Amino acid sequence: MAGTLLAVLALLGGSQVLKAECFSPWKGEQQMYKLDIGWPKTPEHFTGQTFCVAVDSLHGLVYVGQRGDNVPKVLVFSEEGYFLHSWNDTVEMPHGIFVWNTAIGSSVWITDVGTGKYGHTVKQYSPLGKLMQVLGTPGNAGSSLIPLQFDQPADIFVEETGEIYVVDGDGGMNNRLLKLTNDYKELWLTGTNGSGIGQFRIPHSVTLDAFGRVWVADRDNKRIQVFDKVTGEWLGSWSSCFSEDGPYSVRFTADYKYLIVAQLNINRLAILAAPPVGSIGDCAIVHSVQLADETKPHLVDVDMRSGAVYVAEIGAQQVQKYVPLS
């Protein structure tokens, strides 16, 4: 029996603490989080709408993408919360952001949904903001693969091998999931506009688990869809957890036992039990974090070393950090 899953949000010592009172239907240790009220040290650096956040777990860095007129588009903080620097070159309207670490260095991938000369692209930058690679046709929305064209690409996930997963797009003509090789050739593509199996209505976020499965937040269909990373084959979907609001962001916890999902319109972070290998099953919310009204959590990321969860909030115009409690 799955049991009733109840989470109580208490205020304790000035921090939000999430206490789970029941057990997950899948066996495993319960995660509990508290808000790190001291992160960042200088929140005045948030001068625009904070749309996305990415953690460089290897180097202890946190990248924040924000939008607005005459504001730096990318802010870089330490994991302790100290502001380090910012950059702005060729970034128009950041939507998704991802840090890719290799044996020879790290880089930052950004999906840009702008409509100007830099928009409709997926771009790779050095940690200091030097443009290294552009995927797509800058300034031109499209659906072709030769040349590669995007229309408001929403999010990106890059494997250690360099293989790339892109969900395209955030309200444009495309509703698709692409997998590219490390030299940017198409491996497979799936998805059209619709609500059927494998179709999307605003595929908004993408991530991978430890078992070779690709998880996509199918936002306006109010579901998460799951695909095989090798073939692109549809494996299943979750919808029962999202009757109130669709999923905006999907990221796994550091131990891959849970999936962190942002729900913007109800100002909530839902923590779902991850299914075992070989099964998708039904979704179960094991607990949740209820944020203040108009916070509007958009995209999240997880520090895969410490387990901390960072939440980019476009309503509150800030990024907040939640740390796991042992």
Q: Give the domain range for residue 283.
A: 33-324
pLDDT at 169: 87
pTM above 0.85, yes or no: yes
CA angle 171, 175, 177 (to 5 degrees): 130
Residues of the chain with pLDDT > 70, as a percent, come to: 90
Is pLDDT above 60 for 232? yes
Residue 23 located in a structural domain: no
pLDDT at 21: 33
pLDDT at 10: 34
pLDDT-derived band at 24, boundaries 50, 70, 90? very low
* DSSP β-bridge partners for residue 203: 218
Measure the CA–CA gap between 38 and 208, rounded to whole angstroms.
30
Residue 24 located in a structural domain: no
251-258: average pLDDT: 96
Residue 25 located in a structural domain: no
Q: Render pLDDT for 53-101 as a digit per residue (tens, 0 to 9).
A: 999 999 999 999 999 999 999 999 999 999 999 999 899 999 999 999 9
Query: Residue type for 125, please?
Result: Y
Q: Which of 97, 230, 106, 95 is nearest to 163 (CA)?
A: 230
224-232: average pLDDT: 98
Question: What CA–CA distances, in Å, run from 108 to 54, 133, 285?
Answer: 9, 10, 31
pLDDT at 30: 54
Which residues does 138 contact at the CB level (< 8 Å), separation at least 6? 117, 118, 119, 120, 121
240-254: average pLDDT: 97
Name residue, tokens 């698709």: 176
Q: Render pLDDT for 190-204 as a digit per residue (tens, 0 to 9).
A: 999 999 999 999 999
Residue 17 located in a structural domain: no
221-230: average pLDDT: 98
Residues of the chain with pLDDT > 90, as a percent, come to: 87
pLDDT-derived band at 325, boundaries 50, 70, 90? confident
Tokens of 23: 């057990």
How many domains in the chain? 1
Residue 3 located in a structural domain: no
pLDDT at 288: 92
Is pLDDT above 70 for 243? yes
Q: Render pLDDT for 120-146 as a digit per residue (tens, 0 to 9).
A: 999 999 999 999 999 999 999 999 999
pLDDT higher for 238 or 11?
A: 238
Residue 13 located in a structural domain: no
What CATH number has the domain bearing residue 228? 2.120.10.30
Measure the CA–CA gap between 77 and 43, rounded to whole angstroms.
11
Residue 12 located in a structural domain: no
Residue 15 located in a structural domain: no
